[in-house]
Amino acid sequence: SLTNALAPNFAILLVTRIVQGISGSLMTPTARLIVLEKAPASQLLKM
């Protein structure tokens, strides 16, 4: 977000927004994978 605010032109803004969108879309599957690996099997159905 900081790079978006400081982008000197539209091209840089567009590239940083694309990178930010890709990075954000990877957060949900990664978080779910961490929960699946760390939580005991008996607790998974309660989440």
Q: Are 34 and 44 in contact (CB under 8 A)?
A: no
> Into how many domains does the chain fold?
1
pLDDT for 27-41, tens place per residue? 989 988 998 999 998
Q: Which residue has the higher pLDDT, 42 or 11?
A: 11
Q: What is the reported pTM?
A: 0.63
Q: What's the rounded Cα separation, in Å, for the pair 7 and 9? A: 6
Q: What is the DSSP string of 1-47?
A: -HHHHT-SSHHHHHHHHHHHHHHHHHHHHHHHHHHHHHS-HHHHTT-
Q: From CA 8, how far away is CA 3, in angstroms rounded? A: 9
Domain span at residue 24? 2-45
